[in-house]
Structure 1
Amino acid sequence: MARHPRSRLLCVLAVLALLAGLLAAIPAPPARAEVEHPRQKWMRDSTAGLFLHWGMFTSPRHLDCATWEKDVTGGGWSPDYWVDEARKLGASYIVLATFHSRLGYARPWPSAIPGSCSTKRDLLGELVKAGQAKGVRVLLYMTDDPQWHNETGTETLDSAAYSAYKGEQVDLTTRPGFGEYSYDLFFEVMDRYPDLAGFWIDNDNEYWESHHLYEQIRQKRPSWLLSNNNEDTPIMDTVSNEQKVGMTPAYDYPQAAWTPMPRLVEADYKLPTTGDWWYDGSDHSVDFRLSTGRYITNAGSSMKSLMAETPMVNGKFPPSQEKFNDFMAGWVPPIKSSLQGLEGGGYMYGGMQPGFWNDGAHGVVTVDRGGAKTQYVHVVTRPRTDHVRLRDDNYRVTRVTDLRTGKAMHFTQSGGYLSILDVTAWDDYDTVFKVDTAGQGLYYSGVKASASASRTGFPAADLTDGDFSNYWDSNAQLPVSMTFDLGARRPATTLAVNQREWSPTYARTSFGRPEDSARIKDYRVRASDDGRAWRQVRSGAMASARGVRLIDLGLQYTRYLKLEVLNLWGGPQAPAFLNQLKVDEVKVGYGYQRSFGRPLPLEAEAHGNVLSHGARRTLCTACSGNLHVVGGELTYRDVNAPSDGDYRLQADTTSAKATPLRVTVNGGEPTTLTVPAGSADAPDSTALAVHLKAGANTVKLSGPGIDRISVSPVPTDLPRTTMTVEPYGVQWVGTGRQTLKVKATLRLDTDDQLDGVELAPKVPDGWTLDGASVKADSLRLGQTITGTWTVTSPDPVAATKIPVNATYRTLGRPQTTTRNLDVRPRPADRTFMREAEDSANAPGSTGLTGCGPCSGGEKVRNIGGDPTAAVTFPNVTTDRAGQHTLYIDYTVNGTRSYQVSVNGGPPATVTVTDSGNSTPRTTSLPVTLQSGANTIKIYNDAEAAPDLDRISLD
């Protein structure tokens, strides 16, 4: 948990095939993913678990097992305390991590197997018994890794004692020896504690795999769960996602998940927002907003919140954690019915669309796995207005109530949205609305699907079979299209697209593995009556977001619809996700649910508005209220603001072509901005900043069709962007005058707008810049701006960071995004030097990770164990043919080897040894190079190699 060792992705099926002849005596069936099994039911019905890292090295650190046990007991340790605290959190299970590499490999039971700390008091047995009495199950954490055996300078693994016990020499500090030792412990635990709920296993050990450990656990304890950290190991029941960060909003943990339903998934995170995974002597704070948000969004994505707390030596939690537990004990019960035993809505179990809603609102939906007639809308971030508006996915809503208060809420439905109105009481962390429905309708059945490309075994027919266990795969081909045959010419209004939830929603590096979204970005929709002549009815960008995505088509009469996918969000830095489109289901809608209650505020067709200069109300099926105003001028006479100030005005407009939108407030100077081409009968949104006075204001609009407007305070957060600069990584150059080509790209990642965008490097004094800044009037969702320049240094060149700046406005506010190009002169004794993370290299399936002491602050890890896990350095240049010394800067823990091949020649083996894997070291070998460009490949097909910082030549 607190360590991040390299996890070996070894296929259990392949291991069984290789070892079947040697291990035929073990009657174990082949491993396969048991995605759903009756033994999992109790965890599927749960909302959360409590993860406890606690052991001999809990502060104050003990180096003697007996002294630690004495202080545990003398301090008043009680298993009931842990069980009661878990219940406060709404947790159904506890994972106990004492046999942990950073906690002294402590075993909280009187073990008959020597080798590491073991207590005389049966703490594990007491905890299991206490949990049984109160309905809380216990899983035992087991680690695969001996690398921290002497972290404190004191040896915690007793190889001599274990060797005497086994009657053979076994070195517990090696992976095979530790694997054998821990293998024996698994069986001891299974024999002693039949009421344990299972094992939570931190990565794999080769000894376990080669000896069919998991298969034997299945046979011996078929009701136990097996959980695995950060890997989707087929035989395991759960996949646990550890400590994911970087998403927007910060609490939406599922954005980093990469395992689709119905796989049983945990979100494993710390409640203390700083410090180690275990108690380090400090009372670290708990962020209530972050922690409750994770709790709710995980539940709304069918993920279990495995919350890590840090018990002290006596088992008690520090005050900040106890305070949070006490809060949860009162906060969860009133909304328990919306969390426990339910599934995430908007996915395979049905339900309305989760994610970002109106006016800054964000939340999730929970539904019963047997059907989505009753749904719970969890508003985790409240809107800046008094109503919530979300896509209803064609569920007909009959009643809405506030779950905490029981109050019946006003609501309205039209244009594909449910709006819950007049909300005056907001919970600080999660306002929950119970939404009763008459079920889902207005989608065709029997639609036939075809595609321009498919991977064998994943046909286009799976797009419309109603079964989320089947999906279509585009076979890495883009652009690609999906065609839907309605059987006859019929009305069509919507495409509801559920993409495979197998990738995070944003680019990230997790445990050294590059990840990115494999979701649709730019798309087009065409319609045809005969399958030959096609007309475009919609185009745009789809947000990289989880859950069902809905495309409004206007009202089309057609037999065929074709969804053309032009590109995906993922970039080349994450090759495993690049162009890998997978889609679970696509439904074709032929209408929208409609209620006749209170209308949504600020509808264009409202009778209090003034229509002039030919403006008229006309039918618009996809619009709010099913009407919009086209032509002439539309004037709102009563747009209210609570106080003088700037506000965000959103206009939902209809227009088949790019059209100027003219907005005038209180008779002042008009503001004009361009609404991009969309649809004449399906609205899109455009926002601008306006100044309003307290009370009633007059707002006049003209240009495109107007569906409605909304007014809210200007948001404090900014639209999310992605900016890349190439070359990436420190650029090591000679000492004379140097010239470098620079390329930069800015992308808008949210459904918002940037105006007045300008992109350019800013060179320091003495440098020159060739090339002008690039500009764009505006950027919308998914759009990019790219520029290339040449920068030239003075002579001599000095270490310099060249900022590349993107400036823009959002709602009138100026903003700047900056990325630096880092240039440094090479050491005098090097003729070539390049970082492993440099964008010029081909990284294969390896990944980046931070490394403070490393050159450039990063290194490449996950090298080796697979032919694709290699780093290839092209264009390694020298002006002298012949023998050179190649220097390799690396980090390693233990003994590992590289294979080094030059220009495709036979590899040389380089073996290195060190401890800790955090301090860069240098090794060297002779290589023969040709004059000019050379290619150097660093790899190890057979096993894990050291991490790589950079290479250089003499």
Structure 2
Amino acid sequence: MQRRIRTILLSVLAVVLAMITPTANAEVEHPRQQWLRASTAGLFLHWGMFTAPKHLDCAEWERDVTGGGWSPDYWVDEARELGASYIVLATFHSRLGYAKPWPSAIPGSCSTKRDLLGELVRAGKAKDVEVILYMTDDPQWHSEQGKQMLDSAAYSAHKGQQVDLTTRRGFGMYSYDLFFEVMRNYSDLAGFWIDNDNEYWEQNKLYEQVRQLRPSWLLSNNNEDTPIMDTVSNEQKTGMTPSYDYPQAAWTPMPRLVEADYKLPTTGDWWYDGKDHPVDFRLSTGRYITNAGSSMKSLMAETPMVNGKFPPSQERYNDFMAGWVPPIRDSLHGTEGGGYMYGGMQPGFWNDGAHGVITVKPGAKTQYIHAVTRPSTNMLRLRDNGYWVTGVTNARTGERLKFNQSGGYLTILDIRDWDAYDTVFKVDTPVQSGYYKDVSATATSTRQGFPAGNLTDGDYETYWDADDKLPVSVTLDLKQREHATHLAVNQREWSPTYARVSFGRPEDSARIKDYKVSISDDGVRWTQVKAGAMPSARGTRFIDIGQQNTRYVKLDVLNTWGGPQAPRHFGELQIDEIKVGHGYPLSPWARTPLEAENAGLNGGARPQICWACSGSAQVAGLGGGARNSVTYKNVTAATAGDYKLELTATSAQATSLAVTVNGGAPIDVPLPADRADVPANTSIPVPLNAGANTIVLHSNDVRGPGVDRIAIATLPPASYTPTTTMTVTPHGVQWIGPDRQAIKVTAKLRLDVDDPITGVELKPTAPAGWTVQGSPATVQTLRLGQVLTGEWTLTAPAQVQAVSAPVTASLRILGRGKQVTTDVDVKPRPADRVFMREAEDSANEFGSTGLTSCGQCSGGEKVRNIGGSPDALVRFDDVTVRTTGQYKLHIDFTVNGPRSFFVSVNGGQPTEVKVDGAGNNTPYATSLPVALNAGANSITFANDQAAAPDLDRISLSVE
């Protein structure tokens, strides 16, 4: 759909409508968007005939709306309590009865005599709240409640031609007319919020005409980035860590206007179902803040009852927001997300479990740090991105706080007044420095129109594209030999930060994983100075390279985080800007606790300058045993118990650090080879007494590591399991028959976070009667981005039953044992079938299609988004039969309305398979004869021109 829309718009806009509408690219920023760009949030109202108690008669519903005391001012006032600048009214909604809340001259579905829409628009205008009208493209739920809600006969009489409103084209014609009725009658409306597209609209250039007739109105499109639209709305993203960090699942880079569209009630439907569902204050406020910290608008869905009032839980949340937002209003309104194209410090995970975002006022010398999850200590430490800080104030209390800067970090100290949901610090940052301005860039690969020069032009709207080629090198020329300390990398924010499936579309991170940095004076002879893995995270990423004097700095990107299951993001790389730093702000006025150079130094232990370290110093000379040590004599803990000890150390070669707590036995902590002038963190669990404790560090190696600092924090909860990605193939139910008794199983475990894990073992468990060939895969330590791989053969007994073979990764994190498990499901193939495979099986080729859950389908999954473009296909390779001949191909699918597969065998002429059905969660079956060769064959399901049904599985029987 997205590719088709782009093709239509680009050709039509360039040739036919060049005189009446701007080009597609120009829609990214336009003066009509200014009010929305300045806002923080909107209120999404799903409210219609099927709001509980549902009505099947339009007049009865309107009577109860009016009789219940519906008031537009109530909605507007509740929106203002939420800090919302606009309301989206979703009443002409496919699941709510297709009701038009205005007197309509166009018959076809429910229309009120009272002008509810007009009243709401006028009430909003009086209180500076804009109103946007939701419009659906979807007729499939026309009789969901057992009564036909679309009146084709009435609309046909109105049009003077036969029109079936239950078809997409007929409904497209009807809703197209409604757009124009609304545009004629409601000049003060702010625009349309459109739930996907209808081909009739596209063919008749609806959006271009909206632009011509109502140039000040906004257009928003759900779950697609359609160029002519002002806003991309991302619907109900979940599954991220922390759960409130909605932007992790977004895929649209600034300055595109982006909405985060989510429910405030944490259970139930999008509309009122008769229950008072709870609102999770922590989740909802966290989303509100993190969206603002990514320049995304929070479109919060509430569920008004028939009379318009909100259930008590939602009213309580709105009342809470009315008091909670105003003290930090300046940090949210008229601000942009920090750490991206508008400048600012680094958002994301900070020290001791803290997490948050930055907001900035463009052009101002002020930033706001939002600590949404507070650290377990009373200080906050984050990358300062070269901003010199002159003052830090608690935005809610006005208290001025102590702070220091060194090694590229701002540390705010002695924080006592933490808000339950968002502690906001106003930070004065008069200048950003420490980066070279006159740097040129070249690269080994460049997509035409996206040159390497875009990396250093200072313009975040231009970017470099690696043209689907990895590994790739970027060389930065400082023009002469200069001092270099670090790189600041802003990657294109066009993908989520982790693998996921959204509306059947596979997505993954297109960010840098493994990299190397080298330096050279002549651009020919290179010396590697850094290697590692970059976290898959939003915002500016930093690579510290120590103290270098060089002319050229080369970044080699070896791979990215995305996997092949998401071809749109796999092997792709786009970068907005790369800066070369030559130093860090230094403000040592307040001392950071537990710095090594301020502890007791014994034997040969001595302070040493380390510009990338906290306090710009570390302690060296710890090798040779316990006589050379650092002693911390007053490490305090509130209560006795186990704590997390974070060791920040430098190590030019693989070494270890011995840790002694209160005179106990030394704990040996291995440290990997890295740099002697760039610190890295390693954490272990340690027992502490209530009150003061003594911690001693030394090394038994001849040349021990350097120690920068230590930190003490509470252990994460016992439920904490570090984020990993475990990929097990085969995926999908495996159908075992007499000709297939063995299954080759491969598993890969990747660590996706900074916390290293130890004692890692990866192995399958054989079901009863099965055998496993192959040994467990093991590794002592797994660090960020590293992968452990294992391979085994599972062999079934003669009599196969339905079983699951679990593949388990066992690991330890901070002394705790954890497991991650994925099952390989096996079932006996029916006796009348000679072949059977799930559509979602990892043996298939998916093109640009994606997997989605389907409770009624075989294996609980299916493949959707087949058709509409040549690459939107599913190809079954290695479809093996014993003899050449005619077979019957059985196809299990789901579909809503008439659609077609085009089925091709071994690359031959496609055969159209027309099917029909009602409901995308109801499996259907059909079949067709096919000619197959003995041995391996391929069978492809596609539809180059239009959307095809969703595919559940295929099987073969002998004709």
Normalised to the residue count of structure 1, the TM-score between the two structures is 0.98
Determine which of 418, 422, 425 is the counterpart of 1:433.
Answer: 425
Count of aligned residue pairs for this structure pair: 944
Q: 8 Å contact 1:575–1:844 — kept in the other structure?
A: yes
Cα deviations by residue, 1:577-610 (Å, 9 ceiling, x for unpaired): 011100000000100001021111100100xx22
Partner of 2:834: 831
Q: 8 Å contact 1:736–1:797 — kept in the other structure?
A: no
Determine which of 407, 417, 425 is the counterpart of 2:409.
Answer: 417
Determine which of 741, 748, 758 is the counterpart of 1:745.
Answer: 748
Determine which of 669, 672, 676 is the counterpart of 2:672.
Answer: 676
Cα deviation for residue 153 of structure 1 reads 1.4
Q: Alignment partner of 1:11: what SS?
A: helix
CA distance in 2, matches of 1:423, 1:526: 40
Aligned residues: CA RMSD:
1.4
Partner of 2:724: 721
Say whether residues 1:223 and 2:231 are aligned partners: no
Say whether residues 1:886 and 2:889 are aligned partners: yes
Cα deviation for residue 664 of structure 1 reads 1.1
CA distance in 2, matches of 1:273, 1:45: 28
The 5 Å alignment of 1:318-329 reads 318-329=311-322
Determine which of 8, 28, 38 is the counterpart of 1:14.
Answer: 8
Q: Alignment partner of 2:285: what SS?
A: helix
Q: 8 Å contact 1:110–1:118 — kept in the other structure?
A: yes
Partner of 1:660: 656
Cα deviations by residue, 1:147-171 (Å, 9 ceiling, x for unpaired): 1111111111111111111111111
Q: Alignment partner of 1:894: what SS?
A: coil
Opposite residue 844 of structure 2, the aligned amino acid is N
Opposite residue 819 of structure 2, the aligned amino acid is T
Opposite residue 298 of structure 1, the aligned amino acid is N
The 5 Å alignment of 1:419-818 reads 419-606=411-598, 609-632=599-622, 633-702=629-698, 703-716=704-717, 717-735=720-738, 738-818=741-821
Determine which of 277, 285, 296 is the counterpart of 1:292.
Answer: 285
The 5 Å alignment of 1:193-212 reads 193-212=186-205
Q: Please, which moves more after superposition, 400-409 or 735-744?
A: 735-744
CA distance in 2, matches of 1:264, 1:429: 26
Partner of 2:625: none
CA distance in 2, matches of 1:580, 1:51: 35
Cα deviation for residue 381 of structure 1 reads 0.2
Q: 8 Å contact 2:9–2:24 — kept in the other structure?
A: no
Q: 8 Å contact 2:40–2:333 — kept in the other structure?
A: yes
CA distance in 1, matches of 2:402, 2:434: 23
Partner of 1:379: 371
Say whether residues 1:91 and 2:94 are aligned partners: no
Q: Alignment partner of 1:328: what SS?
A: helix
Opposite residue 919 of structure 1, the aligned amino acid is T
CA distance in 2, matches of 1:161, 1:823: 54
Please identify runs of 4+ aligned residues in structure 1 that moved more than 6 A: 18-21, 23-26
Q: 8 Å contact 1:12–1:209 — kept in the other structure?
A: no
Partner of 1:939: 942
Say whether residues 1:136 and 2:129 are aligned partners: yes
Cα deviation for residue 613 of structure 1 reads 3.2
Cα deviations by residue, 1:93-113 (Å, 9 ceiling, x for unpaired): 000000000000000000111
Q: 8 Å contact 2:139–2:165 — kept in the other structure?
A: yes
Q: Alignment partner of 2:761: what SS?
A: strand
CA distance in 2, matches of 1:875, 1:429: 54
Q: For the structure 1 residues 650 and 369, does the alpha-carbon distance in structure 2 shift closer, same or farther, using more than 3 Å as the test?
A: same
Q: Alignment partner of 1:557: what SS?
A: strand
Cα deviation for residue 642 of structure 1 reads 1.2
Say whether residues 1:341 and 2:344 are aligned partners: no
Partner of 2:922: 919
Opposite residue 712 of structure 1, the aligned amino acid is A
CA distance in 1, matches of 2:772, 2:538: 42
CA distance in 2, matches of 1:860, 1:759: 29
Q: 8 Å contact 1:742–1:789 — kept in the other structure?
A: yes
Opposite residue 710 of structure 2, the aligned amino acid is I
Cα deviation for residue 220 of structure 1 reads 0.8
Cα deviation for residue 921 of structure 1 reads 0.8
Q: Alignment partner of 1:185: what SS?
A: helix
Cα deviations by residue, 1:167-203 (Å, 9 ceiling, x for unpaired): 1111111111111111111111011100000000111
Determine which of 208, 216, 233 is the counterpart of 1:240.
Answer: 233
Q: 8 Å contact 1:49–1:306 — kept in the other structure?
A: yes
CA distance in 1, matches of 2:22, 2:665: 77
Q: 8 Å contact 1:473–1:582 — kept in the other structure?
A: yes
Cα deviation for residue 766 of structure 1 reads 1.3
Q: For the structure 1 residues 27 and 39, does the alpha-carbon distance in structure 2 shift closer, same or farther, using more than 3 Å as the test?
A: closer
Cα deviations by residue, 1:540-588 (Å, 9 ceiling, x for unpaired): 1100000000111111111110011111000000000011100000000
Cα deviation for residue 27 of structure 1 reads 5.8
Q: Alignment partner of 1:562: what SS?
A: strand
Partner of 1:261: 254
Opposite residue 796 of structure 2, the aligned amino acid is S
Cα deviations by residue, 1:801-820 (Å, 9 ceiling, x for unpaired): 01111111100001111110
CA distance in 2, matches of 1:588, 1:27: 44
The 5 Å alignment of 1:9-158 reads 9-14=3-8, 17=11, 31-158=24-151
Q: Alignment partner of 2:929: what SS?
A: strand
Cα deviations by residue, 1:613-637 (Å, 9 ceiling, x for unpaired): 3111111010000000012221211
Q: 8 Å contact 1:97–1:140 — kept in the other structure?
A: yes
Q: 8 Å contact 1:8–1:204 — kept in the other structure?
A: no
Q: For the structure 1 residues 35 and 918, does the alpha-carbon distance in structure 2 shift closer, same or farther, using more than 3 Å as the test?
A: same
Partner of 1:4: none
Determine which of 392, 400, 405 is the counterpart of 2:397.
Answer: 405
Partner of 2:701: none
Cα deviations by residue, 1:621-657 (Å, 9 ceiling, x for unpaired): 1000000001222121111111111010001111111
Q: 8 Å contact 2:439–2:477 — kept in the other structure?
A: yes
CA distance in 2, matches of 1:116, 1:406: 56
Which consecutive unaligned segments of at least 5 residues does structure 1 have?
A: 1-6
Q: Alignment partner of 2:179: what SS?
A: helix
Q: 8 Å contact 1:737–1:796 — kept in the other structure?
A: no
Cα deviation for residue 210 of structure 1 reads 1.1
CA distance in 2, matches of 1:428, 1:30: 46
CA distance in 2, matches of 1:91, 1:18: 36
Cα deviations by residue, 1:500-535 (Å, 9 ceiling, x for unpaired): 000000000000000000000111110111111111
Cα deviation for residue 17 of structure 1 reads 3.6
Which consecutive unaligned segments of at least 5 residues does structure 2 have?
A: 623-628, 699-703
Partner of 1:186: 179
Partner of 2:626: none
Opposite residue 831 of structure 1, the aligned amino acid is V
Cα deviation for residue 12 of structure 1 reads 4.5
Opposite residue 554 of structure 2, the aligned amino acid is K
Cα deviation for residue 301 of structure 1 reads 0.2
Normalised to the residue count of structure 2, the TM-score between the two structures is 0.97
CA distance in 1, matches of 2:7, 2:864: 26
Give % identity.
68
Opposite residue 623 of structure 1, the aligned amino acid is C
